[in-house]
Structure 1
């Protein structure tokens, strides 16, 4: 007996609607990280806070990853789920390399700062930027999860997991900045930078793993 499939009217249009939302969210993530990176690097240098500087550089690494995600969503919208294409794989490899370089720089500078007893001028902007970032990442995670569930897309849900990894960086920055502001112990800022370096190594390793696998997300919790 022939099986007849009934497709709910408007389903295709609804899926295209959610893909447009997912693409906009990816674009917002890229734009947000560009602005966050500029502000964080500026105040990181001005206030001599290594944790904020490292956080700002991480934002630019996330821009590279975000370009791969944006391209992935365009591919999913047209072709459906599948292995990452060459552009996505290259974006993941560049992202992984950048994370490793960031980690190496933070470990070296953090160790020197700890040895010399260097301390930031202030971590006020680190607290402000981290709170803004936590709020922004929470909103992005919420709506990316809605889009991923509406589309039944593991890849878009993995993108939400990437934003959760970014949220972890923000929480570390908040802890380091607030810790120094409350205690005046300069080593707290350097310790925060070293923790960011450890997270960067994790994300770099995962990016390279994903470039060889079947997910376009380079974040630890994407699998």
Structure 2
């Protein structure tokens, strides 16, 4: 019993780390993205803020499970998922429009060096979070926590997209690579929004970020 409580405390701590990391990442990315006129980094930061809403719902869920409640989503979690889904859709639409306009206007960032730095830090952080979430979720035999770990891989994919776009521009000076990076983030944000709405409706998670990402309803 003590071991079980420790595992749930660890899961809650991981959820809190995810929340505060995304807040810091969002502030830094939006600030640097605006300063360097890098739309991919700016969009990456906005995505991090939306992840905070999702993270709060996950933290709430883990705390409920730790107190022995059922895995069925409560109204707070469904509301958080609905808000998250809507925010991701709005973000995807905004990034898509910005990417298209920037592409045709041949926009060029001042620099994408900070995009590379942020992406590398994020890749390391997401890998660590995925590792420990899988470890705790497996120990608890919790499909919900394992699904959260699997869907954290989408954040990892976003970091990889940012890294490729930023490094590509730094190495080649081709301005439209930043727009392509923004488009990639828009596509992943749309997918995250769709999955959030599916979870809010009690459907199985369709995360393509993992081979097994079934969630509880």
Which TM-score band applies after superposition, normalised by the shorter structure? Answer: over 0.9
Trace 1:42-57 onto structure 2 (pairs within 5 A): 42-57=31-46
Residue in 2 that maps onto 1:180: 169
**Cα deviations across residues 86-108 of structure 1 (Å, max 9, x unaligned)?**
00000000000000010111011
Runs of 5+ consecutive residues of structure 1 not aligned to the other structure? 1-11
Say which of 108, 117, 131 aligns to 1:119: 108
Residue in 1 that maps onto 2:151: 162
**TM-score normalised to the size of structure 2?**
0.94
In the TM superposition, residue 78 of structure 1 has moved relative to its aligned partner by 1.4
- Is the CA contact 1:162–1:218 (under 8 Å) kept in the aligned structure 2? no
Q: 1:28 to 1:218 in 2, by over 3 A?
A: farther
Residue in 2 that maps onto 1:85: 74
Larger radius of gyration: 1
- Is the CA contact 1:82–1:214 (under 8 Å) kept in the aligned structure 2? no
Give distance in 1, aligned partners of 2:206 and 2:140.
21
Is residue 147 of structure 1 aligned with residue 132 of structure 2? no
**Secondary structure in 2 matching 1:79:** coil
Is residue 131 of structure 1 aligned with residue 98 of structure 2? no
- Is the CA contact 1:23–1:73 (under 8 Å) kept in the aligned structure 2? yes
**Secondary structure in 2 matching 1:185:** coil
Q: CA RMSD in A?
A: 1.3
**Secondary structure in 2 matching 1:118:** coil
In the TM superposition, residue 82 of structure 1 has moved relative to its aligned partner by 2.3
Is residue 26 of structure 1 aligned with residue 15 of structure 2? yes
- Is the CA contact 1:206–1:220 (under 8 Å) kept in the aligned structure 2? no
Give distance in 2, aligned partners of 1:162 and 1:80.
23
- Is the CA contact 1:36–1:56 (under 8 Å) kept in the aligned structure 2? yes
Give distance in 1, aligned partners of 2:29 and 2:96.
19
Say which of 158, 162, 181 aligns to 1:192: 181
Alignment: residue pair count:
211
In the TM superposition, residue 163 of structure 1 has moved relative to its aligned partner by 1.3
Residue in 2 that maps onto 1:7: none
**Secondary structure in 1 matching 2:67:** helix
Give distance in 1, aligned partners of 2:45 and 2:107.
20
**TM-score normalised to the size of structure 1?**
0.92
Runs of 5+ consecutive residues of structure 2 not aligned to the other structure? none
